Structure 1
């Protein structure tokens, strides 16, 4: 199979959208990612996947900490900015949680210290131990087949 077919198949999995953030050398850094999942309840662990060409890879390696910000449907612009889809410079006003920069009003801000990391192909998988989190109500920003979306109604049980 070629790369495009593989990418298209992976795009069939609908995800939420996050911004991964960290703090290095007195500056906040962020990148959009949808490769995020919970790993363990005891201890509380999450996983993010960062590409080898992403500037964020060195930042997380240096900081040893990161935050996962789960975006709401109103925060599409943050995703576009940190994905490099919006080119003009913006002054992003981060909040802070346990000294980490976080996206204000995200559905969840999850602060982690790096528990372990694993190189897998052209990505590094960071397992983060959750040290703090904040939750808010709202609807998530979603991503499916390369496009942003919304959840229109809750699924009935």
Structure 2
């Protein structure tokens, strides 16, 4: 006999994409720059789809669009950095989120330094930096979830608040 209180099994999604984007946009996220070095070039992108995964081993993930040039670069390189932007990083975030920006010299206007574990570019106006080695990549819809083992961590001196993203806008928490 079937349980009449069981939830109906879901069918195909009828969710409006624009409404979904507005709903997800109400979730406040931090803003980071993910960077790598491949093909004799620095590659970087702004991301807010970044999170810690595990403490043992130390793992983080970032979600990257399948059709982006950054995905090919980060998979080819096998190492990448994460710069958690502080409130001064809005211009950097906007620049590195600009579609079609030139690859060569894209980090020229961004103050940065090289990570000691991987040599990838890390943004100077960051609250924290992480250097990672790719351990897995999982296709998920139109993105790839790139998982990395954390090889090195850097922390900035306190003094600046975080840059956050909410309702399609960059904001500072002050």
Q: How many residues align?
A: 152
1:128 Cα deviation from its structure 2 partner: 0.6
Contact 1:80 1:86 in 2 (8 A): no
SS class of match (2:126): coil
Aligned with residue 114 of structure 2, among 96, 102, 117: 96
TM-score w.r.t. structure 2 length?
Answer: 0.82
Contact 2:28 2:164 in 1 (8 A): yes
1:105 Cα deviation from its structure 2 partner: 3.3
Matches of residues 1-157 of structure 1 in structure 2 within 5 Å? Answer: 1-84=15-98, 91=108, 92-97=110-115, 98=117, 99-136=119-156, 137=158, 138-152=160-174
Contact 2:80 2:132 in 1 (8 A): yes
Partner residue of 2:5?
A: none
Change (3 A) 1:73 1:6: same
Contact 2:111 2:125 in 1 (8 A): no
Structure 1 residue runs of 4+, over 4 Å off?
A: 85-90
Partner residue of 1:155?
A: none
Change (3 A) 1:68 1:76: same
- In structure 2, runs of 5+ residues without a counterpart are 1-14
1:54 Cα deviation from its structure 2 partner: 1.6
TM-score w.r.t. structure 1 length?
Answer: 0.91
Q: Distance in 2 between matches of 1:115 and 1:81?
A: 28
SS class of match (1:107): strand
Q: Which has the larger radius of gyration?
A: 2
